[in-house]
Amino acid sequence: MKVSSNPNLRLRNILEREDVAIATFITLKGVRTAQIIAHTGAVIIDCEHGNIDDSDMHDMVAAVSGSGVSPVVRIPSLDGTFMKRALETGAHGIMVPMVNTAKEAELVVKLAKFPPVGIRGHGSSFACLEHGLKTPSEFIAKANQNTITMIQIETASAVENVDEIAQVEGIDLLFIGPNDLSLSLLGYTPANFADTALLQAISNVVASAKRYGKKVGILSTDGEAAKKAKEMFDLIVLNTDVRTLQAWYGKELNIARS
């Protein structure tokens, strides 16, 4: 990753300092929800699995950025239209699920970057605002360098091809989806981190990422798992808003009823 001098690029700056970034998937729509989660760290607005539409995404990116935190958007699939919409909100990064080959990773870069690197078109009046810049022209001049491009490694095919995927220029971070990876490799979910086949696959992804200078991330279910993951990963997503709310309320309700 190239070093950025823009202090507004909070997540990129954390990663460039070689610190471990901790984020949360947010699946519930709403500006207030986004603000609340943003006060815990970086936020990944989940438009793949979350109850978040295009308008919600726009508002939530602005709310997260306005809270002093980097908004990242996970798009539903490798889709150029939605990728453009996500990037034009001013998201500091995108996460693309189910990338299985180097060719697909190259397409992500092509769609996410402005010429001459890619084919992304100019038009958004909003993106510069969330990057702390005054004009679209300023944003375009720096967007290829500043926007974090993440792809998810979450199938057996992706693991098999990970060495080639990790060599694709313009991809910043490989993010392991352990539950889908477990489903693909072993036929069940949630992921069992005691399973040697899953652990070997994760180790292979990490090794390829490090070999070719990419950052690497993973989903963790709780604080203890995240603390352990800090030894190996650059980005840790600490569960989701819904799962955390369910877990906390369920625990407290059991106490109240006992």
* Eight-state DSSP code of residue 77: S
Contact assessment for residue 214 and residue 190, using Cβ atoms and an 8 Å cutoff = no
| Count of other CB atoms within 10 angstroms of residue 2 | 9
Token pair in block for residue 102: 């180097």
Burial of residue 248 (number of CB atoms within 10 Å: 0-12, 13-18, 19+): exposed
For residue 175, the surrounding DSSP H or E stretch is strand 173-176
Distances (CA, A) of 251 to 78, 94, 214, 238: 38, 33, 38, 18
Q: How many other C-beta atoms are found inside a 10 Å radius of the C-beta of residue 256? A: 7
49 is catalytic: yes
Distance CA 157, CA 167 (A): 16
Is 238:24 a contact under the CB 8 Å cutoff? yes
Which is catalytic among the residues 49, 92, 122, 131? Answer: 49
**Which residues participate in catalysis according to the annotation?**
49
